[in-house]
Amino acid sequence: MAWDAWGDPTAAARLTDAQLALVHDVLQVSADDVHAVERQDVRLRPSTLTDDDHAELAAAVGAEHVGAADDDRLLHAGGKSTLDLLRRKSSAEQDAPDAVVAPGTEGEVAAVLAVCAERGIAVVPFGGGTSVVGGLDPIRDRFAAVISLDLGRFDALADLDEIDQVATLGAGLSGPEAERLLAARGYELGHYPQSFRYATIGGFAATRSSGQDSAGYGRFDDMVRGLRVVTPRGVLDVGADAPKTAAGPDLRQLILGSEGTFGVLTAVRVRVHPVPETKAYEAWSFPDFATGAAAVRAVEQAGTGPTVLRLSDEVETALNLATVSDAGSSGADDKPQDGGCLAVTVFEGSSALVEARHAATRELLTASGGTSLGAARAKQWAEHRFDGPYLRDPLLANGALVETFETATSWSKLAAVKQAVTETVQRGFAEAGSAASLVLCHISHVYDTGASLYFTVVGAQRGDAIAQWRAIKAAVNDTLIEHDATITHHHAVGADHRDWLAAEIGDLGVEILRSVKATLDPAGILNPGKLIP
Amino acid sequence: MAWDAWGDPTAAARLTDAQLALVHDVLQVSADDVHAVERQDVRLRPSTLTDDDHAELAAAVGAEHVGAADDDRLLHAGGKSTLDLLRRKSSAEQDAPDAVVAPGTEGEVAAVLAVCAERGIAVVPFGGGTSVVGGLDPIRDRFAAVISLDLGRFDALADLDEIDQVATLGAGLSGPEAERLLAARGYELGHYPQSFRYATIGGFAATRSSGQDSAGYGRFDDMVRGLRVVTPRGVLDVGADAPKTAAGPDLRQLILGSEGTFGVLTAVRVRVHPVPETKAYEAWSFPDFATGAAAVRAVEQAGTGPTVLRLSDEVETALNLATVSDAGSSGADDKPQDGGCLAVTVFEGSSALVEARHAATRELLTASGGTSLGAARAKQWAEHRFDGPYLRDPLLANGALVETFETATSWSKLAAVKQAVTETVQRGFAEAGSAASLVLCHISHVYDTGASLYFTVVGAQRGDAIAQWRAIKAAVNDTLIEHDATITHHHAVGADHRDWLAAEIGDLGVEILRSVKATLDPAGILNPGKLIP
């Protein structure tokens, strides 16, 4: 990925004239308000690794796998949150890991951890570099130096059992690499978060990622059957061959979501399924968000079995519609959408099951006040499902402040949480002097007892944009805690949500995490400053 | 329940003449080989509680809620494993908790734990008393005394949110009590383990229970949204309103399966569903277990959606058939079954979904070599699903040694595990001098990547039946570990599987559990000798 933007530089998005005008006229900002920095002007904090540190790390993994050049360090300096991207635009000295170390075996990971524990070097495990919660911040904590531990060499499909439908995937495989290896055998994982093109299998597990097909295939934590974790105390292999067990607490669920603070994931055993025989798509319109939310709830609680089930609110629907219209690709056989809220359904599997699931879902959505818009708009969503993050970069460059975040709560509290968060964001932008702000929201992950809410917010950058966003996000987190909604549904805790974790899981919950951490990582070198307060 | 047998004394089973003859002629044992003891001849180890201990416990919960009578103590002296029942038949002094303490509020639970931590008294949480793994053994460990903490007063349906379909159930509610409270509102939990009639909501959570409808409604750990746990360090409330979160490791999954060693469950928030509109039943015959196993695997991996999906092996099918024939209740419209393996399917939900699921399942089972036997035999299974344990008592009384245990493994290893366990049991009985032995097996819980195997074994009691069974069970556990199969799929670890836990989860896994235990229960009073080695 680009060092200062999302994704492939050749795929960078440009704003349309209409979008530029919107930023200009409504937010009253422009590119002139934004400080830009070219790559050659970036100044990185000098590495604090000693020659001895470097020599020992090189001895552990081979000199060619220790990157100390500024280009390596800069590409591992953080993730892709708006805060990360704003930091990259600074002319002041930027922080970065002191080296990038890329072990190729579990033994080498263990050797690196031993060197770091011995010499007091913090370790930040690095997969695809897509964290949006500060999970890759090069935090030194009490240590003299920090390295980025790049898992990119753990890139094998080690095993695929077609009877069990279980694959053992290297933690460093990106989403597309993993799917390509599986597809060659006729299988797929079916995990498609928006970060899919770059994020890795290890990252999905470490952060409890959730993909857009979660209604059908579950979250990533639902897919995991076993994990191999190299800790400073040895290798932990959790999850035997048994799909489920009553042999005590489920240690898989303790490693999932541990964000590199307990150990380094090297391989993940996941449930896979044959590439589906057929897919069916249908988009729907609902008069308002409350009606649409009740409809998707009815579908999920009845268990009619869509693979994708999502609902955009009125604002997001209106803005997506503008994009669709720009793209000019709405199918001629589709009904136009006149306001309201767009829902997308996708069904996958055998023809017979897809037909039955589609019919049962259609019946419920119709009975719940939905109007079918046909297939084209749902297909279009699927085609562009990974493109969203590209739009943020030109918006940031033109003076807008854009970010996304997500939560989850029970169905009965969904409306109240959505409203409270929206008001908090709008108040935050107003207090910072933004001429206007937009809050878009959708439900993208549904459960029998509740759902996620995913927010995209846009305002004007005012003054120190980093401080501005920190203040708004802190107010959002406070609002979520106040409403008993989780501080993160699938982005994880990282550095950015860490100050709110105790409010979510309680002081005793935090003590549990600390005790596990102390057992597995007694020197405390693994990802300090992340997750555990 | 009876002090020395399963369940309701008025529902006790008697062996048929054919069954008696089988025991006599094949196992070559009779009632004369068995030592029996009447209630009045049972001698309990005298209570070691001091007057001060008793006074402080009475101060914590009220004197009327501290039972020190032998009848109370005997009813809390253990669970309902065959080892428990054999122990109850001893004329030697029997062990029992020194008192039965029944708090009525979380504050009272906390007060009891404080008294016990202060005075060095071990605490065994007690729900329905149905443990079959020694989970209720009155182990004193290093403490001078041990009490049974009866949760029976936590018996309320505290809340039912019909939008979220979440119920908050008191930990002491039995299965039927919970379902009765929910049914009055039109809902059900759908958790039906064989222990259903006596086991409690708290016990289901503490042991990771799995019910016979798990294909449709999941295991109990799948149903749990939140837990309230009183620990010696304070109350832990895990699981916010969010159905799922990425806010770190899932602490729910650390409490689930903790078997009272981390804290005392007082309330469980569970997913419920409306009482299903309709149910459909169909029994199937397969020529052999391998064909049947491949068929139920095909159904589960395709996701056609049965609520119940189970398969008996040839031996179990043959013996059940005898029972069915005895009962004379096989439907006239049903095809007779000629050998082979019986499978049972049940479907629940709306009429349209039941019809679609049933049709898709029927198509797959037929294509996989199954022959439909019609509905009656499946309905008959459902009617008698909780009766099995009653048969054990007269068999034990007539000199047979009978027990059940279960495991789970991946589909690809199922046949090898089944064969190895069968041979181990048969060898064990033969070495002990049993004239014959029977090993029955079924698959009752299916997953996309594997399944459970539930064994019922019958041989002759020879000499010290407790030592005889311990030796056979130890060999079975070794066999399971050797094959990477779990030592328990849904019965839990308790005292009986504890020596094998490290082999299953590794020494580092055990260290993790110990560190959590030390954080929540620093004095180590909670259920010592169970779960954690």
Mean of pLDDT values over B420-426: 98
C-alpha separations of A193 from A85, A176, A218 in Å: 20, 11, 12
Q: b/e per residue, B239-261, with b = 16+ CB within 10 A?
A: bbbbbbbbbbbbbbbbbbbbbbb
- Does B242 contact A410 at a Cβ distance shorter than 8 Å? yes
- Does B250 contact A253 at a Cβ distance shorter than 8 Å? yes
**Model confidence pLDDT, tens digit, residues A73-132:** 999 999 999 999 999 999 999 999 999 999 999 999 999 999 999 999 999 999 999 999
pLDDT band at A321 (very low <50, low <70, confident <90, very high): low
User: How many beta carbons lie within 10 A of that of residue A331, not counting itself?
Assistant: 15
pLDDT at A255: 98
pTM score, whole prediction: 0.96
Mean of pLDDT values over A300-323: 90
- Which residues 330-369 in chain B show a CB within 8 A of chain A? 349-350, 352-353, 356, 360, 363
In chain B, which residues have their Cβ closer than 8 Å to the Cβ of A498?
none
pLDDT at B325: 45
- Does A411 contact B238 at a Cβ distance shorter than 8 Å? no
pLDDT band at B240 (very low <50, low <70, confident <90, very high): confident
Closest alpha carbon within chain A to B493: A247
- Tell me the sheet residues that pair with B269: B168, B226
**Model confidence pLDDT, tens digit, residues A264-274:** 999 999 999 99
pLDDT at A241: 81
Mean of pLDDT values over A422-433: 97
> Best residue in B251, B299, B449, B510 to probe A by mutation, most A CBs within 10 Å?
B449
pLDDT at A137: 98
pLDDT at position A22 over 90:
no
- Which residues 486-525 in chain A show a CB within 8 A of chain B? 486-493, 497, 501, 504-506, 508-509, 511-516, 518-520
- Return the DSSP state at A16: -
Closest alpha carbon within chain B to A492: B246
- Does B164 contact A410 at a Cβ distance shorter than 8 Å? yes
Q: What percent of chain B has pLDDT over 70?
A: 97
pLDDT at A335: 56
pLDDT at position B181 over 70:
yes
Dihedral sign of CA atoms B351, B355, B356, B357 in order? positive
Closest to B154 in 3D by CA, of B90, B212, B109: B109
Mean of pLDDT values over B105-127: 98
pLDDT band at B326 (very low <50, low <70, confident <90, very high): very low
**Model confidence pLDDT, tens digit, residues B200-213:** 999 999 999 999 99
C-alpha separations of B516 from A249, A517, A527, B108 in Å: 11, 10, 21, 23
Mean of pLDDT values over A521-528: 98
> Best residue in B132, B168, B229, B241 to probe A by mutation, most A CBs within 10 Å?
B241
Of B165, B450, B505, the CB nearest to A301: B165
Choose the weakest-confidence range: B2-6, B334-338, B488-492: B334-338
pLDDT at position B374 over 80:
yes
Of A245, A410, A412, the CB nearest to B408: A245
pLDDT band at B337 (very low <50, low <70, confident <90, very high): low
Shortest distance, CA A103 to any CA of chain B (angstroms): 23
Mean of pLDDT values over B249-276: 98
- Does B253 contact A255 at a Cβ distance shorter than 8 Å? no
- Does B163 contact A248 at a Cβ distance shorter than 8 Å? no
**Model confidence pLDDT, tens digit, residues B14-50:** 999 988 998 999 999 999 999 889 999 999 999 999 9
pLDDT at A18: 87
pLDDT at position B324 over 70:
no
pLDDT at position A325 over 70:
no
pLDDT at B330: 43
User: What are B332's two structure tokens?
Assistant: 């006239």
pLDDT at position A332 over 50:
no
Burial of A476 from C-beta contacts in 10 A (0-12 / 13-18 / 19+) = buried
User: What are A327's two structure tokens?
Assistant: 């793209």
- Does B164 contact A242 at a Cβ distance shorter than 8 Å? no
More confident residue, B369 or A240: B369
**Model confidence pLDDT, tens digit, residues B296-322:** 999 999 999 999 999 999 999 998 765
Average pLDDT, chain B: 95
- Which residues 202-241 in chain A show a CB within 8 A of chain B? 207-210, 219, 221, 225, 231, 233-234, 236-238, 240-241
CB within 8 Å of A372: residues ≥ 6 apart: A282, A283, A284, A335, A362, A365, A366
Mean of pLDDT values over A214-231: 97
For the sheet containing A121-126, what is the strand order?
A66-67, A99-101, A145-150, A121-126
Closest to B327 in 3D by CA, of B6, B8, B10, B13: B13
pLDDT band at B339 (very low <50, low <70, confident <90, very high): confident
Amino acid found at A402? V
pLDDT at position A238 over 90:
yes
pLDDT at position A220 over 80:
yes
In chain B, which residues have their Cβ closer than 8 Å to the Cβ of A251?
505, 509, 512
A73 touches chain B (CB under 8 A): no
Amino acid found at A242? A
pLDDT at position A158 over 90:
yes
State how far the Cα of A91 lies from the Cα of B116, in Å rounded to an integer: 62
In chain A, which residues have their Cβ closer than 8 Å to the Cβ of B533?
none
In chain A, which residues have their Cβ closer than 8 Å to the Cβ of B277?
none
Closest to B203 in 3D by CA, of B151, B270, B167: B151
Shortest distance, CA A250 to any CA of chain B (angstroms): 6
- Which residues 397-436 in chain A show a CB within 8 A of chain B? 407-413
User: What are B365's two structure tokens?
Assistant: 């089972």
- Does A486 contact B242 at a Cβ distance shorter than 8 Å? yes
pLDDT at A163: 98
- Does A409 contact B518 at a Cβ distance shorter than 8 Å? no
Q: Are B127 and B171 in contact (CB under 8 A)?
A: yes
Mean of pLDDT values over A513-526: 98
**Model confidence pLDDT, tens digit, residues B440-475:** 999 999 999 999 999 999 999 999 999 999 999 999
